Structure 1
Amino acid sequence: MIIKSKMVSSGGGVRAASYPLKQGDNERVVVLQDNADQLILADEFATLKGRKNGLIHFTINPGQEHMNPDDWERALEAYRTENGFNPNDPETLVFHESYRSDGTLQRHLHGVRTAADSETGKTYKRFRDKPKDEAVSRFMELELGHKLISGKFNDFAAMRMREMGHHDYADQIAALDPPEPAAFNHDEHQQAKRQSFDLPALRQQLKALAELPRDQQPQKLAELLDRDGLELADAIEEGRGRSRIMIQTPQGMKDHNANRTLKIKAAEVAAFIEAAKEHLHDLRSDTPEPTSDLGAGSTDSARPEPKPDHPEPDSNNQRSGTDAPDQQRAGEAQQGTFGSAGSSSEDRSTEQLANAAAELAKATANLKSDTQKFAASRGNDFTAADLDAPPDLSDPNLMKKLAAMLKKSLGGAKRIAAQVLTPNQGMPG
């Protein structure tokens, strides 16, 4: 079981309260309690009071272990008790069901609660919250008979068991071996999801590879990299990183340390990487390189190699898309896409150029005629008022001059209208 808590900064209440209720990538969402409105109000109050945190988000994940409703209630009660939470505080509790990388359906619990006592208003002390989460996780594993998991804070968890009077639990926790390093952390997983890269699936493939005999692993790793389009980075020979086998994942992601899963000895990493690189080079060099009929150094993609049931055209340089000689004779009456079926490429090019020249000459003649018409009509648009100098705004007789100019414009407009109207039409007034 893994129990984790995270403080939510004041002002982030809306997002934190609504997140558990969203479907997201989950197969199913089951709402047990929805107190989002009260949580948002508590966050707004914390913001007004100038408090650092307004809410607490926590998760309870039993992994592959089964839990009935009573087990879930016991785990919640143990979590609240260890942290001194008031059971009357508003909480939102939601089950998320999603498929793991191995295909099994997993259920885990999301909870959001207030960071302060809803009755006294005092902020809960969150000193050593991560060790407390692990202590509750180890306690519930032993209470429910689940597999005991080694954590980073085994010593603290054992100490808490002794303080609670569970000395047998403390002895079992103290006997645990240190935890193995995680294959990837939460941030790496989220980054991979944003890049649409399945990091858990890669780890499952590496786990299966780790079960093979050691002499087969470099070749199988090379096949995995070649299939998924990944690369293998050089080993770091000095310092703490010398045991890393770094797989370069898609652009924008950090390199993934495959040796967290493969567990190759530090002294053997360099030789392992060299062997895997040789296999990878052989795999990729076996792929036929594309050739181009444009000459050496061309970057254009070449035509694919013909399939056996589609023989290469003969030496008459016949292109794809044209009929074979026998087909041409059988269909001489049919019109092809680029002219008649029997015409050569040179004849087609000449005919296309002639057609284009004819269309261009016709367009030029039409443009000349339209230009002349436009020039004639444009001259009729001007009146004497258009040619007069602009009036002086300081002139005391400005209004009289403007009236005279307006009269001229109206007279010109009336004459133009009389020219374009039919005999049966007249100018009103």
Structure 2
Amino acid sequence: MIVKESRIKTKSGAGAIARHVLHGAKNEAIRVLSGSEWLLHDHMREAHREGLKYGLRHIAFNPDEAMTDGQLSAFARRLCEELHADPEHLTLVVHQKKGSTHGHLILPEWQQDHVLESRFTWMRMEKIARLEEIQLGHKLVAGRHDRAIAKALRKAGRHHEAEQVYALVPVSHDAKPRAAYTSEARRITERQGLDLPALKKLVTSLWSQSDGLKAFRAALKDHSLILREGDRKETRPGAHIIDADFSHLRQFRVIS
């Protein structure tokens, strides 16, 4: 399961996130399991009263295998527990697209008596995702923080889970490509009729099936993709990107 987090500035208001999550035209179906559009705007008003820079936390999660609405709701509540957020104030929306489902969890930054936690949240959410996959018997999805997650699980006495997560760590710390694209890049490519998350998934799959760089390059070529040196080699030496035959993808760094 892939989990991504973003923070929405108070001055931006809740309009854009409400339109995206509650009225996204590209989805086959939208199910509101908890919360409402009114609640999102109310959270923003509270953040403004408290003088907070950020008003909402948007957490999107995309399971690789099917999950019921009940399982998605339970996972959202476990994320709330990890971040010390009140689950009574969450908004949870499930999108269905091309036969698969993904969830959008939106939390208020202002939690009535404290601000929502923001320290190491990417790693902590990945940890909850790995534990959810283990509990449901799903295939574990490798993430950027598996080494640290395994260490934290061992410290908590969860040795069985720690070993399963540690098995995801590549032999070389830099051996696995890291997906890297911005939400802006995703929106641009969507307007051009491209599916950037699908491209990321394809690249990751090709890498996992390749026994070396030469085989990886050959697999990419079969999909009209090539590996080349990144544009920011002065500031990020050794970075590489996936460059497609179509020129409008060249501005996006897909792996590094």
Q: TM-score by structure 2 length?
A: 0.75
Aligned residue in 2 for 1:8: 8
Q: Cα 1:254–1:107, aligned 2, differ >3 Å: closer, same or farther?
A: same
Report the equivalent of 1:152: 144
**For the residues of structure 2 that align with 1:157 and 1:205, how far apart are their CA atoms?**
25
Distance 1:78 1:199 in 2: 28
Q: Which amino acid aligns with 1:93?
A: L
Helix, strand or coil at the partner of 1:107: strand
1:131 — aligned with what?
123
Secondary structure of the residue that 2:140 maps to in structure 1?
coil
Structure with greater strand share of residues: 2
The amino acid of 2:101's aligned partner reads R
Matching residue of 2:94: 95
1:229-244 alignment to 2 at 5 Å? Answer: 240=238
What CA distance in whole angstroms lies between the structure 2 residues aligned with 1:240 and 1:62?
31
**Counterparts of 1:235 and 1:58 in 2: how far apart (Å)?**
32
Q: How does 1:311-330 map to 2 (within 5 A)?
A: none
2:159 partner amino acid: H
Among candidates 188, 193, 218, match of residue 190 of structure 2: 193
CA distance in 2 between counterparts of 1:15 and 1:250 reads 30
C-alpha separation in 1, matches of 2:229 and 2:75:
44
Structure of greater Rg: 1
**What's the counterpart of residue 67 of structure 1?**
67
CA distance in 1: counterparts of 2:42 and 2:76, whole angstroms: 23
SS at match of 2:107: strand
- Confirm or deny that 1:162 pairs with 2:154: yes
Distance 1:54 1:24 in 2: 25
The aligned counterpart of 1:21 is: 22
Write the letter of the residue equivalent to 1:133. M
Q: Is the 8 A contact 1:249 1:256 kept in 2?
A: no
What's the CA shift for 1:22?
0.9
Contact 1:33 1:94 in 2 (8 A): yes
The Cα offsets for residues 249-277 of structure 1, whole Å up to 9 and x where unpaired, read as 344x435679x6xxxxxxxxxxxxxxxxx
The residue number in structure 1 matching 2:111 is 117
Q: 1:4 to 1:162 in 2, by over 3 A?
A: same
Show the counterpart of 2:86.
86
| 2:41 aligned residue | 40
Q: Distance in 1 between matches of 2:38 and 2:147?
A: 40
Q: What is the deviation of 1:107?
A: 0.3
Structure 2 equivalent of residue 324 of structure 1 = none
Unpaired stretches in structure 1, ≥5 consecutive residues: 100-104, 261-429
CA gap of 1:8–1:83, structure 2 versus 1, over 3 A, is: same
CA distance in 2, matches of 1:126, 1:205: 31
Q: Deviations over 1:327-364 (max 9, x none)?
A: xxxxxxxxxxxxxxxxxxxxxxxxxxxxxxxxxxxxxx
Unaligned runs of 5+ in 2: none
In the alignment, the residues of structure 1 paired with residue 178 and residue 228 of structure 2 have an alpha-carbon distance, to the nearest angstrom, of 21
Decide whether the 8 Å contact of 1:247 with 1:257 is kept in 2: no
Residues 125 and 205 of structure 1: is their aligned pair in 2 closer, same or farther, counting only changes over 3 Å?
Answer: closer
The alpha-carbon deviation at position 114 of structure 1 amounts to 1.0
Separation of aligned partners in 2, 1:195 and 1:146: 33
Secondary structure at the counterpart of residue 25 of structure 1: coil
Other structure's SS at 1:240 match: coil
TM-score normalised to structure 1 length:
0.47
Residue 151 of structure 1, CA deviation: 1.1
Deviation of 1:45 after TM superposition, in Å, equals: 2.4
Aligned-residue RMSD, C-alpha:
3.5
Q: Which amino acid aligns with 2:122?
A: K
Alpha-carbon distance between aligned partners in 2 of 1:244 and 1:190, rounded to the nearest angstrom: 19
User: Which residue among 219, 243, 246 is the counterpart of 1:246?
Assistant: 243
Distance in 2 (alpha carbons) for counterparts of 1:155 and 1:126: 20
Q: Note the C-alpha offset of 1:244.
A: 6.0
The range that moved more, 80-89 or 130-139, is 80-89
Alignment of 1:225-374 (within 5 A): 240=238, 246-251=243-248, 253-255=249-251
Pick from 126, 140, 163: which aligns with 1:171? 163
Q: Which amino acid aligns with 1:117?
A: Q
- SS at the partner of 1:157? helix
The secondary structure found in structure 2 opposite 1:88 is: helix
> Contact 1:35–1:92 (CA<8 Å) still a contact in 2?
yes
Structure 2 counterpart of 1:367: none
